[in-house]
Amino acid sequence: MSTTHGVAPARTSRSPVQTVATVVALGFLLVGILGFIPGITTHYGDMSFAGHSSDAQLLGIFEVSVLHNLVHLLFGVVGLALARRPSGAVAFLIGGGAVYLVLWLYGLLVDKGSDANFVPLDSADDWLHFGLGAAMVAAGLALRTRTAHGPRAGGSL
């Protein structure tokens, strides 16, 4: 670490919501990368760009496609960018969680064998999306009033 006139540069503290958002975003990046690795993704040769015909499965459980993996990577990049500020981290967790809850509902309603299942989704994906969406929204709501130095004035924990 470099110093100026013997004084170390000030480090900015990260708030708990920024830390959680960063971990979630890194998780999305990891999942997006793993989706492109044969062996970790079974039936890798059967992966299509999009659609219900992709037979590739991350960890042999979650149906994936090139589009699905790219969405995970994009979500991770956006999450890391938004996690740079507490307000962005809250927006990522609550907004991203809401997107995943909508995706869960979509997965429950869409005919898995139809062209409308373009991501593609299976039952394992549906319930993972529900858990992830609920956890992200809950974390964003629970941590939205916390800063790196504790709760905001007038805020609650």
What confidence tens digit (pLDDT) does each residue in 72-84 have? 999 999 999 999 9
How far out from the chain centre does Cα 140 lie?
13
Helices (H) and strands (E) counted in the chain, each on its own, are 4, 5
pLDDT of residue 8: 57
State how far the Cα of 115 lies from the Cα of 16, in Å rounded to an integer. Answer: 41
pLDDT one-digit tens code per residue, 41-98: 999 888 888 777 788 889 988 889 899 899 999 999 999 999 999 999 999 999 999 9
Instruction: Answer whether 20's CB lies under 8 Å from 78's CB.
Output: no
The secondary structure of residue 152, as a DSSP letter, is P
pLDDT of residue 116: 76
Residue 147 has pLDDT above 70, yes or no: no
The arithmetic mean of pLDDT across residues 99-106, rounded, is 94
Helix locations, 47-122, DSSP H: 66-82, 86-109
pLDDT of residue 4: 57
pLDDT one-digit tens code per residue, 25-42: 999 999 999 999 999 999
> 66: buried, middle or exposed (CB in 10 Å: 19+, 13-18, 0-12)?
middle
pLDDT of residue 85: 96
State how far the Cα of 51 lies from the Cα of 20, in Å rounded to an integer. Answer: 32
